[in-house]
Amino acid sequence: MDASLSALQRELDRLIQSVPDSDIEFWFARDLQAPLGYSRWENFVTAIDRAISSCESTGYRVSDHFRGVTKMVP
């Protein structure tokens, strides 16, 4: 595996969130933005919207894969 791909995998693994007492894992989009190479949120939202459209067009339920959430600022 390419070294940069391995580094990205480690970074994504570090960012995984999970729901206590369940097998549910998830990532916050803002946490994924920089590791995936997006410097501006507006550009990343465009990519997310395209992913949601692809999910819909292939017959998957968007609500099973994408959630609109907010994160409290400390």
Radius of gyration of the chain (CA): 14
Amino acid at 2: D
2-19 tens-digit pLDDT: 888 898 889 888 888 888
Q: What percent of the chain has pLDDT over 70?
A: 99
Please indicate whether residue 71 or residue 19 has the higher confidence score (pLDDT).
19
Q: H-type helices in the chain, by residue range?
A: 3-15, 29-33, 41-57
Distances (CA, A) of 12 to 26, 40, 51, 54: 10, 19, 18, 22
Mean pLDDT of the residues in the chain: 90
Rounded to two decimals, the pTM is 0.74
Nearest alpha carbon to residue 36 among 20, 49, 48: 48
Which residue is associated with the tokens 């099973």?
64
> By percentage, how much of the chain surpasses pLDDT 90?
47
